[in-house]
Copies of this chain bind each other. A is one copy, B any other.
Amino acid sequence: MSSLTLNDRLQSFVNNRFFEWTAVTVIIASALLLGAKTFEIGSRATQVLNVLDWAITVFFVLEISVKFAACKDKKRFFHNPWNLFDTLIVAVSLIPVTATDQALIARLVRVFRVLRMVSIIPELRILLNSLIKALPQLGYVILLMFIIFYIYAAVGTTIFEQINPVLWGDIAVSLLTLFRVMTFEDWTDVMYETMTVYPLSWAYYLSFIFFTAFAFLNMVIGIVVNVLDQEQARAKAEEHPNEPTLSDLQSEIAELKALIVSNNSPSKS
């Protein structure tokens, strides 16, 4: 055990709880720094923040380097999407920024450092993975919902374009207007405007709200049923992995019967 290679030592260092918490602390510090910079602060404070910013960047470079060094199979390091994400974030923040336009991008990259919180806390990573896994199962409901949106947007553009081009000018803004109607945000203003020209256009809005609410409801119920199914399957698997089924018991009782019968016959003779 004293003959640990550098790699092994690095690995135990990386998997150390202390290493993880240090990284989390630095990420939180970088998030707070990010927030602090949005307030009006003196030039002195700005200088301090800039120094801190560089310190955090250096820490992130060191952290990712140690992680890479600790990884036994260097080739597979970037197969893990989280490692790839971490490296990209660090690499981009190293690019020197001179022009003002790039300054905006540099600041945005620093924002994504906060997302490293997700890549470093295992529970959040699991949570995000399970969220992403739930999406494809809803694919067809989302497709149906988009078809409803598209048809209503096409009809809305065709009929209401002359009334208010800002809301119904082309299919893109119509889709946005319909999303607004779905969130009930001042939807009556949109409706009252078209009702002055087409008094029956309330039917357009009400049917749209009905269809999307119904499809949305089905999406929610779909997720609930999925989650409950998974829960039940997990609970079943966990609690009684070797629990016999009723069929097992039935066949065993049948065996018993055969035994008794065979038991009976020879004892008779």
Contacts and interface: CB of A to CB of B under 8 A. Distances in A.
Interface of A: 31, 34-35, 38-40, 104, 107-108, 111-112, 114-115, 117-118, 121, 123-124, 127-128, 131, 134, 140-141, 143-144, 147, 150-151, 153-155, 157-159, 161, 169-172, 174, 176, 179-180, 183-188, 202, 206, 209, 214-215, 217-218, 220-221, 223-225, 227-229, 231, 235, 240, 242-250, 252-257, 259-261, 263-264, 266-268
Contacts of A151: 111-112, 114-115
A267 B248 CA distance: 29
Contact of A108 (B147, B155, B171, B260): B155
How many copies of this chain sit in the oligomeric assembly? 4
Given A186-B188, A240-B245, A225 B221 contact: no
A150 B114 contact: yes
Contact of A39 (B112, B114, B170): B170
A247 B243 contact: yes
Q: Name the 7 nearest CB pairs between A and B, nearest first.
A: A35-B171, A38-B170, A183-B184, A111-B154, A38-B157, A38-B171, A263-B264
A224 B225 CA distance: 8
Given A118-B147, A257-B259, A261-B259, A176 B154 contact: no
A214 B142 CA distance: 13
A245 to B, nearest CB: 7
Given A128-B144, A150-B31, A249-B246, A107 B183 contact: no
B231 A231 contact: no
A227 B225 contact: yes
Contacts of A141: 127
A111 B184 CA distance: 25
A40 B169 CA distance: 9
Contact of A224 (B108, B128, B180, B224): B224
A268 B266 contact: yes
A174 B38 contact: yes
Contacts of A223: 217, 221
A140 B124 contact: yes
A198 to B, nearest CB: 12
